[in-house]
Amino acid sequence: MTAIVRIEEDSRGDVPIARVHGEVDASNIRDIGDRLRAMLSNRSETMVVDLSPTTYIDSAGLNLLFALAEEMRSRQQRLVVVIAEESPIARMAAITGLDQVAATYPTLDDAMADGREDVA
């Protein structure tokens, strides 16, 4: 993992949560992808990627989230992404349609509370 990004791993029940701190770009996307995929197990139904502490994400980072959502969907798993409202990342997610392939919420608590039967 490069110095510009740090992933904090957590879980609530059987739901793995990855809080991504810092900048996500082409220089670290492979490491981030490997780390996120390693957090999943065959028993995981949902994984939450919390981008609220993320300060920057480029197209490589968005592409990773699209790919991860598709991989998880093919295994009948679900990707949930936390994106702070009014952040540049929220605007990019809306423009690219990320919110159409992964459930998005403005806070981790919202993600865990809304649709609790699906997330937690």
The Cβ of residue 59 has, within 10 Å, a number of other Cβ atoms equal to 12
The CATH homologous superfamily of the domain defined by 20-119 = STAS domain (3.30.750.24)
Strand-pair category, 5-12 with 15-24:
antiparallel
Whether pTM > 0.75 for this model: the answer is: yes
d(CA 54, CA 41): 25
DSSP string, the chain: --TTEEEEEEEETTEEEEEEEEEE-TTTHHHHHHHHHHH--TT-SEEEEE-TTEEEE-HHHHHHHHHHHHHHHHTT-EEEEE--TTSHHHHHHHHHTHHHHSEEESSHHHHHHTTHHHH-
pLDDT the model gives residue 114:
64
pLDDT the model gives residue 113:
86
Give per-10-residue mean pLDDT for the chain (120 aa).
Answer: 85 94 96 97 93 96 97 96 94 94 96 64
Domain boundaries, the chain: 20-119
pLDDT the model gives residue 115:
54
